[in-house]
Homo-oligomer: A and B are copies of this chain.
Amino acid sequence: MITTENSDALAQRLADSGLRSTPQRGLVYEALLKTRDHPTADELYVRVKSDLPTISLATVYNCLETLVHCHLVRAVNFERGPTRYCPNLQPHAHFHDDDTGETHDIDLPASLLHQVNAVLPGGYHSSSIEIIFRGKSPHRRASATKA
């Protein structure tokens, strides 16, 4: 799920913004695509360091800022916690599981977005709508219990 298509998309978007394609940017984006669990900058730092041990946390922040700016990644905030990052570009909401702390994507049909938008009184024009749920999500079964 990583390869050429995404890799090209990245190079393309960077070029569109007059930015260079670098190993750091590629690896941060790749790490984000590989495990779609809404990691924080710190978590990505750890993951990317195994491939590029010299990368710095500042660079991870810089790359993420760039990716968000290129519209390849969304920044997700929940209460006062560290910002999380999401490569899902479809319209979706976030569900925060109170028990596990996990963040799940919830697809949002366009019709719902219209309904939500319709509650705005006259004169309001929204450029974005963010929806966040909190609660309990179905426990995914342990994929295999070892010995």
A residues within 8 Å of B by Cβ? 75, 77-80, 83, 93, 95, 98, 106-109, 112, 115-116, 119-138
Contact = CB atoms under 8 A, between A and B. Distances in A.
Give 6 closest A-B pairs by Cβ, nearest first: A123-B138, A126-B135, A126-B133, A127-B135, A130-B132, A128-B134
Contacts of A125: 135-137
A138 B119 contact: no
A116 B122 contact: no
Given A79-B77, A112-B115, A115-B115, A122 B134 contact: no
A124 B138 contact: yes
Given A93-B119, A112-B115, A112-B116, A134 B124 contact: no
Contacts of A115: 112, 115
A120 B133 contact: yes
Given A77-B80, A80-B77, A122 B135 contact: no
B130 A126 contact: no
A137 B109 CA distance: 25
Contacts of A93: 119
